[in-house]
Structure 1
Amino acid sequence: MSSIGVAFVLLFSKWFGIEMFEWNKVSFPLRYSWLIISILTIIHYYFGMQLQKSINAVLETNCNKLKKKIYLDVTSSENIFVRGLNKRPLIVGAISKGFFLKVDKKDISYKLRFVSNVVLFISVLLTTSEINWWFSSIVSTVLVLANSLIASAYLVRLYRLAYYFSQERHAYIPI
């Protein structure tokens, strides 16, 4: 959520022609915004790994009530990217089992993640394009892919939690 917030600030700053960004009395040029997004991606990775470890610990228990409670607690949180998460994904491919999901396109959290990736890509591309267009496009792509893979890894575990208490088990392929 922080990355998308920063991405919107960068887009609005670029739109209004602001070249310097100030936060907590620290100023930096917008052309180095990729550094801030990179730091936020590293933080996303750290917290994503912590979430994965926690969910894996719950998955190892035999208590389906606990699994349901954890899933419902997480998906009813204030985080708009997992709130109301659709419970029926199809996990596709042998290699991609741990990272990629084919989800129902009606899932609002899926649409939000897609839009946030587009906004993140455009904001980094536009603010760093003064450095070098190729550098900017590569960094934008890498940051979007990294954030997507990080999110996909813990979303797979959330979907696995839903598998254990769902009445529609045929809709899931467990990992």
Structure 2
Amino acid sequence: MKKLVVAGVATLGLGFGNAALATEGTITITGFVSDKTCTINQGSGNKTVPLSSIAMSSLPAGQTAGVTPFTLEFSGCSATKVRAHFEPGSNVDAATGDLKNTEAGGSNVQVSILNDAQQRIDLRNNSNSQQVEVTDGSATLLYHAAYRAPAGAAATAGSVKTTVEYSMDYE
């Protein structure tokens, strides 16, 4: 009798297990690995962008100031178009899409990355990023970095330092 009860419970358990494993849908993931590339010119791969010192009064709540241009330059491109894709890493603020100040005891500001038209790029999803045509195997991407005071608070005094990683998209 004991063996029959154990066998019955085991069979019953298998039946419930199947009900819990019913499929609800399918997720299809697609992509493309490109053979297109460019050579990142010397000084463009790892870059330091020094922002000018500004007065706290120049940066009221929610505003941007101290806009500083920088470029990423490429040569030997087999692609026809290039675009930098900023990676949404740990320095990207999930609420604002700007870069957090990682300097301990530094200012409360963040850093915005702007495109060539000085529109803010949301680093959470790369909206407003730009793509440029390759001409004679070369391309230059113009960006800007700028201080951004938090919404609802003026900038405080202190150092600013942050980083963002990027990868290249080629067409």
- Range of TM-score over shorter length: under 0.3
Pick the structure with more strand per residue.
2
TM-score using structure 2 length: 0.24
Larger radius of gyration: 2
TM-score normalized by the length of structure 1: 0.24
